[in-house]
Amino acid sequence: MGRTVPSVTQVFYQEEQALNRFRRALRRSDQQVLDELLSYTRQHLAAATYATHVLPMELFFLAMLLEEHKIVIALRQRLERLEHKQDD
């Protein structure tokens, strides 16, 4: 619908489109990783909307980092548990 400013979701889809050439040039395996990173961003579009940042792409990167770091934390905890078990 006729909006003056594109919504954050619209910006996200535009950025995704803009990455198409980059994505195409990646190896198939890397393309899948890129898609996963983008899906991380999509989970935080509501927060990015609320932030009303002039450059939403920065928040998109941050959302990817955030999800990445969640995985790092989960893996770290799992590793600690395993090491703990081995020590017993």
Partner 1 sequence: MINNEAWLLDVFEDLQCPGLVLWFLTSDGQRLRLTQPFPVTFYVAGKSAQLREAWKFLKEQPAQPKLSRQSKKDIFLTETIDVLAVEVNAPGLLPRLFRSMLNRFPNLTYYDADIKLPIRHAARFNSFPACYCALQYDESGFLHTIEVQNTPWDLDPVYPTLRVIELEPDCDPFRAEPRFLLVKVDGKQYRLSLFKKRPLLITLQALLKKYDPDLLLTRWGDTWLLPWLSNLAEDLQLPLWLNREKTRHYIQRPERSYFSYGQIMYNGQQIHLFGRWHIDRQNAMFWRDFGLDGILEMARVTALPVQQAARSSPGTGISTMQILTALRNDILVPWHKQQAEQPKTALDLIQADLGGLVYQPWIGLHRDVGAIDFISMYPAIMVRCNISPETGKPGLLETSPEPQGLIPKTLAPLLEKRVNLKQRLASLPRWHPNRKLDAARSSAHKWLLVTCFGYLGYKNARFGRIEAHEAVTASGREALLRAKETAEDAGFQVLHMYVDGLWVQQPGKNQPEDFTELLSEIASRTGLSIALDGVYRWVAFLPSRADERVPVPNRYFGVFQDRSLKVRGLEARRRDTSPWVTRLQMDLLEYLALAEDAADLPLYLPGAIAILRQHLSDLRLGRVPLEDLLMAYRLTRPPQEYKVKTAGARAASQLAEIGKELRPGQRVRLLYLRGGQVRAWDLPQPPNPQTIDRARYIDLALRAAASVFYPLGLPEQDLRDWLKGGIQLAFDFALNSQTQHILLPPFQEEVAWQTIPSRIRLPQWNG
Contacting positions for partner 1 (CB under 8 A): 1, 3-5, 7, 35-36, 39, 42-47, 49-50, 52, 54
For 38-45, the CB contacts below 8 A with 24+ separation are: 38/64, 40/64, 40/66, 40/67, 40/68, 41/12, 42/12, 43/67, 45/8, 45/9, 45/12
- Closest to partner 1 by CB, 25 vs 54, is 54
Min dist CB 81 to partner 1, Å, is 14
Min dist CB 5 to partner 1, Å, is 5
- Closest to partner 1 by CB, 14 vs 39, is 39
